[in-house]
Each structure stands twice: as C-alpha cells, then as structure tokens.
Structure 1
C-alpha cells in the first residue's frame, strides 16, 4: 500500500505553500475569488469557485 503525503502552509494572507511527495507549489488567492497556482514541475493553474455547485479550472500550457 503506497504512502501519500500532503501538507499546506500559510505563508502570508492569500499565499500558501503546498508540499506533497513529488513536488511543491505556491497558491496565490483566497477561498473566495480567483486562485493561481504555480508548481515546481512547471504546471500553472487558475481556478475559481462559482455560485452553486460549480467550479472553474484552467490549466495553462507553456
């Protein structure tokens, strides 16, 4: 059975450092409104919670 690790640290208001077993990422933005994430693997994502059970996510390509 594999072991999974995930931890998130709040650095500043609206800035989080996320660490897992393979990479780390920085997330800018709060719970409400847009969020932008940049990963150590080069992945960039923008996301936003919409009213109701909807969610918006876009992956940016280099």
Structure 2
C-alpha cells in the first residue's frame, strides 16, 4: 500500500493552504457557499455542498505549453 502525504493549514478565516507530495493549492470559501481551489499545477476547482450526502464539483485544468 503506497503512502500519501497531505497537510492543510488555515492562513486566514476562509483561506486554507493545502500541501501534498507533488503540489500545493489555496482554497477560499467556507462551509456555506461555494469553495474555490487553485492548484500550483493549474487545476481550478469549484465545489458546493448540497443538502444531505450530495455535492457538486467542477474541475478545470489549464494545459501547460512548452
């Protein structure tokens, strides 16, 4: 079983810095309303918790050109 690393730090109320083995990301938003996450790899995610066990998430990826 592979080992994983993930750590999240609260910077300000409603702002979190997330670290993992390959990248970092910043998440803004709280428990109510949408959350927006921007990753160092170019991935942008918007997510919303819905009533009950439901939720909605949209992920956009920015392709890097060399």
TM-score (norm 1): 0.91
Q: For residues 32 and 49 of structure 1, what CA distance do their matches in structure 2 show?
A: 8
Q: For residues 39 and 32 of structure 1, what CA distance do their matches in structure 2 show?
A: 21
Give the length in aligned residue pairs.
62
Alpha-carbon RMSD across the aligned residues, in angstroms, is 1.1
Offset at residue 45 of structure 1 (A):
0.3
Q: For residues 35 and 56 of structure 1, what CA distance do their matches in structure 2 show?
A: 11
Larger Rg: 2
TM-score (norm 2): 0.86
The 4+ residue runs of structure 1 with deviation greater than 6 A are none
Give unpaired runs (5+ residues) of structure 1. Answer: none
